[in-house]
């Protein structure tokens, strides 16, 4: 369909909660997307860190095709082999305890918040609170929005959930002071994504670990965006060596298929009891098979080395472009601030016109989330297009 016509239909029939570009992608393979008019694009956004293995990774496609023809859904009233295998692989690759499977990042964080609050009540905390960092983003459900400092200031959706204390993202002392007897959890994105690609300093992560140990609160890392190999290690926390009690993941977990999880260390694995939590679609065989295939492909150590190397190349290239005043990130999760203090949305539009898909997290911040399989040549091509656009 003609994109103009499709835009009109979208305007008429879809709620207006998204600001969209007038482009429809109809096919994808690896690092490339094709739009409805046959134009090819280099994808440096990957559906917001979802298609990290590239579009239509053959192993993920094969797993979904095979499972779709066998069985799509049975509910959590019955056992499921793929779900158990996924739960085990997730735990074995990270915190070693047990896993709650779900369908999205927000849901993974809701589960973590519930676990932290229940554990706090169990040890006699009367008014459990969760400490969150400025700039953090944890999803769009009411609990997750309430945990996201910027969004919970929008009066449109008040009242928000009570019990969240916000501290600066780079201040060890504020964090330490904010954590006390009433603290049920400390919720941190090790590399903040929506907030503009801000890696949290190891000193802050380490202070959060100590504060959690001192009080019995759960240290929760939201790796919905920075997990699944994005930073150059399977899980972002593995770069710092500071282990959380609960780890939430989604986005790239299913290689493009919707799935999320909340993984617990052994001592946090038995907080939920039957009836405490659940979700109809959670842990379905399709999502589990897709995630198993994606995890298998992501676990290749050669791939992680290449993510680190390509990430360095990309950041070095951006740092060499005078229009950018600061370049941040880990692995292939990269943000670059325009020195002019604005213009990022226009830059994104301009790049889209040139066949490079990117995104802006704010007025002056360009965000790049290329597929983990990106080549040096593609990184150089993207740098060339960006450099062209800003000079």
Ligand X SMILES: *Cc1c(COP(=O)(O)O)cnc(C)c1O
Mark 315-343 as b/e (b = at least 16 C-beta within 10 Å).
bebbeebebbeebbbbbbbbbbbbeeeeb
Name the 3-class secondary structure at 97. strand
Cα–Cα distance for residue pair 66/52, rounded to 1 Å = 21
Cα–Cα distance for residue pair 285/289, rounded to 1 Å = 6
CA distance to 161, 179, 322, 341, per residue, from 129 (Å): 11, 9, 44, 36
Name the 3-class secondary structure at 41. strand
Residue nearer to ligand X on the CB measure, 94 or 215: 94
Q: How far is the CB of 188 from ligand X (least distance, A)?
A: 10
Residue nearer to ligand X on the CB measure, 47 or 311: 47
| Near ligand X by CB under 6 A: residue from 51, 98, 106, 131 | 106
- Tokens representing 261 are 């999880």
Residue 192: strand pairing partners: 198
Residue nearer to ligand X on the CB measure, 109 or 298: 109
Three-class secondary structure assignment of 224-270:
CCCCCCCCCCCCCHHHHCCCCCEEEECHHHHCCCCCEEEEEEHHHCC
Residue nearer to ligand X on the CB measure, 106 or 242: 106
Q: Which stretch binds ligand X (CB under 6 A): 81-89, 154-162, 218-226, 330-338?
A: 218-226
Considering the rule CB under 6 A, would residue 137 count as an interface residue with ligand X? yes
Q: Which stretch binds ligand X (CB under 6 A): 28-36, 105-113, 336-344, 366-374?
A: 105-113
Torsion of CA 235, 239, 241, 246, to 10 degrees: -30
* Residue with the CB atom nearest ligand X in the bound state: 105
Residue nearer to ligand X on the CB measure, 188 or 383: 188
Considering the rule CB under 6 A, would residue 225 count as an interface residue with ligand X? yes
Name the 3-class secondary structure at 183. strand
Cα–Cα distance for residue pair 335/320, rounded to 1 Å = 14
Considering the rule CB under 6 A, would residue 104 count as an interface residue with ligand X? yes
Residues between 142 and 201 with contacts to ligand X, criterion CB under 6 A? 189, 193-194
Residue nearer to ligand X on the CB measure, 253 or 351: 253
Residues between 43 and 102 with contacts to ligand X, criterion CB under 6 A? none
Radius of gyration of the chain (CA): 21
**Cβ(236)–Cβ(66) below 8 Å:** no
Considering the rule CB under 6 A, would residue 221 count as an interface residue with ligand X? no
Considering the rule CB under 6 A, would residue 250 count as an interface residue with ligand X? yes
Give how many residues touch ligand X by CB under 6 A.
Answer: 15
Considering the rule CB under 6 A, would residue 249 count as an interface residue with ligand X? no
Residue nearer to ligand X on the CB measure, 223 or 378: 223
| Near ligand X by CB under 6 A: residue from 30, 54, 97, 105 | 105
- Tokens representing 239 are 């770069």
Residue nearer to ligand X on the CB measure, 164 or 323: 164
| Near ligand X by CB under 6 A: residue from 32, 114, 129, 138 | 138
Q: How far is the CB of 112 from ligand X (least distance, A)?
A: 11
Considering the rule CB under 6 A, would residue 131 count as an interface residue with ligand X? no
Considering the rule CB under 6 A, would residue 110 count as an interface residue with ligand X? no
Cα–Cα distance for residue pair 309/54, rounded to 1 Å = 17
Which residues bind to ligand X, rule: CB under 6 A? 104-106, 109, 137-139, 189, 193-194, 222, 224-225, 250-251
């Amino acid at each position: 369909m003609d994109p103009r016509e499709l835009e009109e239909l979208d305007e008429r029939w879809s709620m207006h909660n998204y600001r969209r570009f007038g482009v429809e992608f109809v096919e994808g393979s690896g690092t490339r997307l094709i739009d409805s008019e046959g134009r090819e694009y280099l994808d440096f956004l990957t559906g917001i860190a979802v298609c990290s293995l590239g579009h239509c990774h053959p192993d993920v496609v094969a797993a979904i095709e095979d499972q779709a023809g066998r069985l799509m859904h049975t509910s959590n009233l019955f056992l499921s082999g793929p779900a158990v295998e996924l739960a085990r692989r997730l735990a074995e690759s990270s915190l070693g305890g047990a896993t709650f499977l779900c369908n999205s990042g927000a849901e993974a964080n809701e589960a973590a918040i519930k676990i932290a609050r229940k554990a706090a009540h169990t040890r006699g905390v009367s008014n459990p609170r969760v400490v969150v960092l400025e700039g953090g983003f944890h999803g769009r459900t009411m609990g997750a929005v309430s945990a996201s400092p910027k969004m919970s200031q929008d009066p449109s959706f008040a009242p928000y959930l009570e019990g969240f204390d916000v501290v600066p993202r780079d201040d060890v002392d504020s964090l330490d002071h904010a954590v006390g007897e009433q603290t049920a959890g400390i919720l941190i994105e090790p590399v903040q994504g929506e907030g503009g690609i801000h890696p949290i300093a190891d000193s802050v992560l380490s202070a959060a670990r100590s504060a959690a140990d001192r009080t019995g609160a759960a240290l929760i890392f939201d790796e919905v965006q920075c997990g699944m190999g994005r930073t150059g290690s399977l899980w972002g926390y593995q770069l710092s060596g500071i282990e959380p009690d609960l780890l939430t993941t989604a986005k790239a977990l299913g290689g493009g298929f919707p799935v999320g999880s909340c993984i617990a260390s052994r001592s946090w694995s038995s907080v939920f009891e039957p009836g405490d939590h659940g979700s109809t679609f959670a842990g379905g065989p399709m999502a589990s098979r897709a995630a198993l295939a994606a995890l298998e492909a992501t676990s290749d150590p050669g791939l992680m080395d290449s993510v680190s190397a390509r990430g360095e190349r990309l950041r070095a290239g951006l740092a060499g472009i005078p229009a950018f005043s600061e370049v941040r990130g880990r692995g292939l999760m990269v943000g670059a601030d325009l020195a002019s203090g604005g213009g990022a949305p226009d830059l994104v539009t301009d790049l889209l016109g040139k066949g490079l898909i990117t995104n802006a997290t704010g007025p002056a911040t360009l965000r790049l989330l290329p597929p983990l399989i990106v080549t040096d040549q593609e990184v150089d091509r993207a740098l060339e297009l960006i450099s062209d656009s800003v000079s």
